[in-house]
């Protein structure tokens, strides 16, 4: 596609990337078939190709409108289109730049501004945990729509003592919302890693990966969080005190794996962020070579299970098949279902900012999965897990929780 960027766009730090990405698009439209919003709405403007056209017009100097912003807001940033595109169009990078420009040039209506500011403040704050616990306490009397956002509490169980005794050490990401929503995921991760001789710790100074701020268009605040994590992790990794940063929420893992991209124009952090990249691992990447050891420690084999691969695992991190193979090696009876590539509609804060579309995608995903009559649905991202659980009575868990249960029995909070 021929492009002639306006001077302001060409001179911006994203100018070269944007020009190259748009230039690669051949308008073939293959991406339409796998775009969730196009599948549901059938509107070219809500397809990858349509959004690329709209961003191209803005970068070439057209005045952006709130309508254009809404078409970009409706994009889940699932990057399914990237996986499909035969021309290698890096849509994710383009939409990051497009959203940044629109946010600078289009004033959102008050309701949207309040909602987005509220989400940023709530989800990134220390108040999230207490508020979430309060929500869980009053859950029985909440309206169905709110209730579906708060999964029932489940026991986390004890975390291993003296993880430092292991020769192998890894750093765990201190997720911002996961410990409050389902602390069982981190506890199970620690027990499973401990069982195969890997100690875990959360480093002081590290914290939220920055994805929430970034996707709610507060990119400067997100970059401050990224720099803090680079500072906290890199010295320990490069000194050999730990071998990896292990992430059990694929949304966070995907975002951290993009730090080098997000910090590439930062003279002090571009090179350090690039050095961090090889150390960042999804928990399935760390455990895949240890399948035999894990299986030897499992006391029972899980039954019919459906694995929903989050978009941030399969399309962002390119790890399609890694977790599935591991679970099969561990003896899970994995069920194949239709449209495994499609987003479940969770997508960070999308289920709150775009509730109807999000619900349609969730129901479509659950219909495909439940046609296989699984005993449990497993996934690899806190957002997908809570979102799917809101629409089904089939238990939805992180796969690590199921491996832990198969090794150690059900978690109990009194042990
Ligand atoms: S990222 Fe997902 S929702 Fe957005 S255009 Fe691509 S396929 Fe469609
Ligand atoms: S598949 Fe790729 S090249 Fe084809 S229209 Fe979509 S983004 Fe453009």
Residue located nearest, by CA, to atom 2 of ligand 2: 85
Q: Phi first, then psi: give them for residue 394, nearest 5 degrees.
A: -65, 135
- Percent of the chain whose pLDDT exceeds 90: 77
Which of 40, 52, 78, 98 has most ligand 1 atoms within 8 Å of its beta carbon, as the pocket-test mutant?
78
Give 166-186 pLDDT, tens digit per residue: 999 999 997 677 888 899 999
Confidence of residue 5 (pLDDT cuts 50, 70, 90): very high
- Tens of pLDDT, residue by residue over 345-375, are 998 889 889 999 999 999 999 999 999 999 9
Residue 367 lies in a domain: yes
Question: Would the CB of 203 count as within 6 Å of ligand 2?
Answer: no
Could you tell me if 251 and 279 lie in one domain?
yes
Query: Which pTM was predicted?
Result: 0.92
Q: Please indicate whether residue 377, judged by its CB atom, sits closer than 6 Å to ligand 2.
A: no
Mean pLDDT of the 221-229 span: 94
CB distance 78 to ligand 1 below 6 Å: yes
Closest listed ligand to the CA of 52: 2
Atom number, ligand 1, closest to the C-alpha of residue 92: 1
Q: Rounded mean pLDDT of 250-266?
A: 95
What pLDDT was estimated at residue 415?
A: 47
Protein residue with least CA distance to atom 4, ligand 1: 75
Last residue of a domain, one of 254, 286, 318: 286
Residue that the structure tokens 């986390």 belong to: 156
Reported as a single tens digit per residue, the pLDDT across 21-46 is 999 999 999 999 999 999 999 999 99
Q: Where are the beta strands (DSSP E) in 183-340?
A: 198-201, 244-247, 280-282, 304-307, 333-334
Total domains in the chain come to 3
Cβ 52 vs Cβ 89: under 8 Å: yes
pLDDT above 80: residue 129? no
Domain boundary, last residue among 229, 262, 286: 286
What separation in Å is there between the alpha carbon of 388 and the centre of ligand 1?
20
Pocket test for ligand 1, best of 30, 33, 37 (most atoms within 8 A of CB): 37
- The response to whether residue 79 sits with its C-beta less than 6 Å from ligand 1 reads yes
Residue 193: CA count within 13 A, CB half-sphere: 34
- Residue 228 inside a domain? The answer is yes
251 and 304 share one domain: no
Q: Is there a single domain that holds both residue 320 and residue 226?
A: no
- What pLDDT shows up at residue 346? 93
| Least confident residue range of 100-109, 267-276, 392-401 | 100-109
Same domain, 277 and 303: no
| Residue 143 in this model has a pLDDT that exceeds 70 | no
Task: Assess contact for 97 and 16: CB atoms under 8 A.
Answer: no
High-pLDDT (> 70) share of the chain, %: 97
Domain extent, residue 22, equals 7-105
Reading phi first (left if > 0) and then psi (alpha if -120 to 50, else beta), residue 205 is in left
Q: Which of 233, 260, 286 is the last residue of a domain?
A: 286
Q: Where are the alpha helices (DSSP H) in 106-197?
A: 110-123, 128-137, 144-147, 178-181, 183-195
């Amino acid at each position: 596609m021929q492009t002639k960027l306006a001077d302001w766009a060409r001179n911006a730090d994203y100018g070269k990337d944007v020009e190259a990405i748009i230039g690669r698009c051949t308008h073939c439209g293959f991406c339409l078939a796998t775009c969730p919003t196009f599948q549901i709405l059938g509107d070219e403007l809500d397809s990858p190709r349509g959004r690329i056209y709209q961003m191209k017009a803005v970068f070439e100097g057209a005045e952006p409108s709130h309508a254009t912003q809404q078409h970009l807001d409706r994009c889940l940033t699932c990057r399914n289109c990237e996986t499909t595109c035969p021309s290698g169009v890096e849509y994710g990078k383009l939409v990051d730049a497009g959203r940044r420009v629109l946010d600078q040039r289009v004033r959102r209506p008050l309701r949207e501004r309040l909602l987005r500011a509220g989400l940023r403040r709530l989800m990134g704050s220390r108040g999230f945990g207490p508020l979430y616990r309060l929500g869980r306490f009053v859950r029985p009397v909440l309206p169905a729509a709110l209730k579906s956002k708060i999964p029932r509490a489940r026991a986390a169980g004890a975390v291993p003592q003296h993880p430092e005794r292991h020769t192998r050490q890894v750093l765990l990401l201190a997720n911002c919302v996961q410990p409050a929503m389902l602390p069982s995921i981190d506890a199970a991760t620690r027990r499973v890693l401990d069982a195969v001789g890997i100690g875990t710790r959360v480093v002081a100074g590290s914290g939220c990966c920055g994805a929430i701020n970034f996707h709610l268009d507060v990119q400067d605040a997100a970059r401050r969080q990224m720099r803090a994590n680079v500072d906290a992790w890199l010295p320990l990794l490069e000194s050999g005190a730990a071998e990896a940063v292990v992430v059990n929420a694929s949304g966070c893992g995907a975002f951290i794996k993009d730090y080098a991209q997000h910090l590439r124009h930062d003279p002090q952090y571009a090179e350090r962020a690039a050095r961090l990249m090889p150390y960042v691992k999804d928990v399935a990447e760390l455990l895949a070579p240890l399948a035999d050891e894990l299986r030897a420690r499992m006391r029972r084999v899980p039954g019919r299970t459906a694995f929903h691969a989050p978009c941030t695992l399969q399309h962002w991190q390119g790890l399609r098949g890694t977790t599935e193979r591991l679970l099969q090696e561990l003896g899970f009876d994995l069920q194949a279902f239709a449209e495994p590539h499609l987003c479940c509609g969770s997508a960070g804060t999308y289920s709150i900012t775009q509730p109807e579309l999000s619900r349609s995608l969730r129901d479509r995903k659950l219909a495909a999965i439940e046609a296989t009559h699984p005993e449990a649905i497993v996934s690899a991202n806190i957002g997908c897990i809570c979102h799917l659980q809101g629409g089904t009575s089939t238990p939805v868990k992180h796969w690590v929780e199921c491996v832990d249960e198969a090794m150690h029995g059900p978690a109990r909070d009194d042990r």
